[in-house]
Chains A and B, each alone.
Chain A
């Protein structure tokens, strides 16, 4: 199992530029999550998808952030225009569907995309 694959692993960009982060979830997983990690705010859920449909984007900080999942094996998180306060590690994660009621499916994280906006 290849795990959740994210790219790029590191990106340094200038303020105002567009940033696109990419994610390939684990095959067969129905849920995909985008998290952001900073020293100040810890791990924050930005948005999650179920079967490619955005379910909850209440964590997306501003309209500058957008996420898409055009198919079951690919998702993007886009920041346009980027600002220095967007500097963080962005994690993509995926989870299978248990087929039963209730919560608690294991969520698997990728290695993260380290974004620096200067």
Chain B
């Protein structure tokens, strides 16, 4: 089955700086890579996703890059704000079974 590794497990950044989270996956058949944000006491919420026919996707301050050859993808958050503090999960799938990374706890310092 698919195995997704996520790094780092915790990330502390100064407000206004950038945050980068990296994930690797094992199954070359995976072709869908979503990122979820989970705030305390809530369910994961999709923030951005990318499919295998695209190398990069951007949505305002958030961007995701995908390198299928190396089997890794990354989340970039620019100009971080306090409300970006949360746990972020990457995931990979080639069907409806998402395999999640272990999560990154992001703390934005004011």
Contact = CB atoms under 8 A, between A and B. Distances in A.
Nearest to A43: B100
A91 to B, nearest CB: 5
A31 B96 contact: yes
A104 B93 contact: yes
A56 B97 contact: yes
Interface in A58-112: 91, 93, 95, 102-112
Interface of A: 4, 31, 33, 42-43, 45, 48, 50, 55-56, 91, 93, 95, 102-112
27 contacts: A4-B43, A31-B96, A42-B100, A42-B101, A42-B103, A43-B89, A43-B100, A45-B97, A45-B98, A48-B96, A48-B97, A93-B43, A95-B96, A102-B31, A103-B31, A103-B93, A103-B95, A104-B49, A106-B46, A106-B49, A107-B34, A107-B96, A109-B36, A109-B44, A109-B45, A110-B43, A112-B42
Interface of B: 31-32, 34, 36, 41-46, 49, 51, 89, 93-98, 100-103
